[in-house]
Amino acid sequence: MSAEILSSHGELLTARISGLLAQPELAALQQAAAGVIQQHGHVRMLIIAKDFQGWRKGDDWDDISFMENDPYISKMAIVGEKEWEELALLFTGQGMRKFPIEYFQPADLDRAKAWLMAD
């Protein structure tokens, strides 16, 4: 599994997750993203789920919300295979966050970026 920030340009923060996501990897990614937020203020998050296989069972997933950073996130786009859409949107709290979250399939990466950058 890998979870990493790929780039941060202006407001656009791009991260990638792949394989089987473990809680410590997500926590490290969230910590790195919080550092970017501290440097840049507001961000628009692009999460690319490439070869994603789900979440590792048995991990402590209780404190993963990242909600303390909600005021600094304008939008979140998740790009991944259709089979993960429902679970990914549930996992990220779509509809319960203060910012919009949308899911796009890999062929729609450019559309996801355009949606993120639109006001």
Report the distance separating Cα 20 and Cα 57, nearest Å. 9
Residue 27 clears pLDDT 90, i.e. is over it: no
Task: Give the pTM.
Answer: 0.91
Report the distance separating Cα 60 and Cα 52, nearest Å. 19
For 80, list phi and psi in degrees, rounded to 5: -165, 180
Residue 15 clears pLDDT 70, i.e. is over it: yes
For the stretch 37-90, pLDDT in tens is: 999 889 999 999 999 998 888 766 666 668 889 999 999 999 999 999 998 998
Q: What number of helices (H) and strands (E) belong to the chain?
A: 3, 5
What does the mean pLDDT of the chain come to?
A: 91
- The residue extents of the domains of the chain are 2-117
Kindly state which CATH superfamily the domain 2-117 is placed in. SpoIIaa-like domains (3.40.50.10600)
